[in-house]
Chains A and B, each alone.
Chain A
Amino acid sequence: MRIGVDVNGRRKDADVEPRTLLSDFLRHDLGLTGTHVGCEHGVCGACTVQVDGEPVRSCLMFAVQVDGRSVRTVEALAGDDDDLHPLQQAFHEHHALQCGFCTPGFLMSLEPFVRDRPDASDEEIREALAGNACRCTGYEGIVQAVRGAAREGR
């Protein structure tokens, strides 16, 4: 099927099979390999992207479903001159990643949260990142990074 979708501000037209997952479309058809694929059944959160601004699991959507809509992936976060996004910078400073496999999912889940809820409590931050699994950090650095980025943004 023919689809036209806005990906990170650029119009992309493609032919896709209906069964192509959004995650595979982004990685294989568009070469946007920043979106990582972990469990492929909606549990780990590594493949989280934003569709029309809302974080979603890209392994639980088909590419045909984003026809005419806008998708934002981790590639859109850093500026054109490779300056890190404030949330990426905060992850760097607070040791919020180790192997980094889960990081794109965390960033795309948390970016709207940090923007909309700069005064969130630690409990609310933990709730906001509960849908993403990280096997390295123990999460403490990630909570600190969110707190730090929220403070920066205020």
Chain B
Amino acid sequence: MKPAPFHYEAPRTLDAVLALLGEDAKVLAGGQSLVPIMNFRLARPATLVDVNRVDELAHLRKRDGVLHIGALTRHATLERSGVVARGWPLLRQAVRHVGHPQIRSRGTVGGSCAHGDPTAELPVALTALDARFHLRSRAGERVVDAAQFFVSHLTTALHDDELLVEVEVPPLPAGARTAFVEYARTHGDWALAGAAVVVAPGHAAIVLLGAAPTPLRAADAEAALAAGAGAAEAARRAGALVEDEWRAALTSSLVRRALEEAGA
């Protein structure tokens, strides 16, 4: 239950972080997923690059209607932000399901995304919000959408020499209402299933948690909803994406609950 030895670096600038990244280096952000697996020795990185002292990664601001979330933004900061609560309520609804207060005080938005756990809440909410992910390396920056960023179970588009530096979230459509629901066996535990929804005139986003190796967009259910179907029919179509019988039923009822909460 103790980590294997590693070489530790704690740079203060983004450039210094990028200079250290590579095959043998692992980025330490909030550490709420990485440190447990290091304690179990399931991960034994040769070098740990601690980004917690890089202030330029910790911004959270709205500019020209777009929310810019620095990768080092803590879950607790997102949860307490008035800008987020007013403009992107789905993020607040989702982040309250992340672990417990002691986890949210350390855990980061960038860490949650880069870890790539398909049962994590923020990747699902950010997919529903059409977020874009800024990846930086010594060679430059590229920007990808959620469908490109989340590749598979614990796998993202990030290369060994790249750091997720920012998540950019466009404004919600006019009149949008949102909801996030999930089911976990005990409060704060990993969710077995869940859904994030955005409903607005002429717009619907329904993204499933725990239904696939990445956040899963229920495109068929979204199209049905946009064409005038009710919450029950859209939820049935979303559930049909899940193979396992009881998980399909669970997903379907959670989607229905989320849609009704969002006024669909």
A residues sitting closer than 8 Å to B (CB atoms) are: 1, 17-19, 21, 24, 40-42, 45, 48, 54-57, 59-62, 64-65, 109, 113, 127-128, 130-131
Q: Count residues of B near A (Cβ-Cβ below 8 Å).
A: 28
Listed from nearest, the 9 A-B pairs whose CB atoms lie closest are: A131-B100, A18-B8, A41-B36, A54-B105, A40-B1, A60-B35, A19-B3, A55-B102, A131-B102
Q: Are B106 and A56 in contact (CB under 8 A)?
A: yes
* Main DSSP-derived SS at the A contact region: mixed
Report chain A residues within 8 Å CB of B32: 42, 57, 60
Q: Are B106 and A60 in contact (CB under 8 A)?
A: yes
Q: Are A41 and B39 in contact (CB under 8 A)?
A: yes
Given contacts A128-B101, A130-B187, A131-B188, contact A19 B2 (CB under 8 A): yes
Kindly identify, within residues 96 to 131 of chain B, every residue whose CB is under 8 Å from any CB belonging to chain A. 99-103, 105-106
Pick from A17, A40, A60, A131: contact of B31, CB under 8 Å: A60
What is the CA–CA distance of A41 and B37 in the complex, to the nearest angstrom?
8
What is the CA–CA distance of A76 and B100 in the complex, to the nearest angstrom?
23
Q: Let me know if B50 is at the binding interface, CB within 8 A.
A: yes
Kindly identify, within residues 22 to 65 of chain B, every residue whose CB is under 8 Å from any CB belonging to chain A. 31-32, 35-36, 39-40, 48, 50, 52
Q: Are A130 and B188 in contact (CB under 8 A)?
A: yes
Q: Within the complex, what minimum Cβ distance (angstroms) separates B255 from chain A?
A: 24
B residues sitting closer than 8 Å to A (CB atoms) are: 1-8, 10, 31-32, 35-36, 39-40, 48, 50, 52, 76, 99-103, 105-106, 187-188
Report chain B residues within 8 Å CB of A19: 2-6
Report chain B residues within 8 Å CB of A17: 5
Q: Are A131 and B39 in contact (CB under 8 A)?
A: no
Q: Within the complex, what minimum Cβ distance (angstroms) separates B29 from chain A?
A: 11
Report chain B residues within 8 Å CB of A21: 2-3, 39
Q: List 30 A-B contacts (CB under 8 A).
A: A1-B8, A17-B5, A18-B5, A18-B6, A18-B48, A19-B3, A21-B3, A21-B39, A24-B2, A40-B1, A42-B32, A45-B100, A54-B76, A54-B105, A54-B106, A55-B102, A55-B105, A56-B106, A57-B32, A60-B31, A62-B8, A62-B31, A62-B35, A64-B8, A109-B101, A127-B187, A130-B100, A130-B187, A131-B100, A131-B103
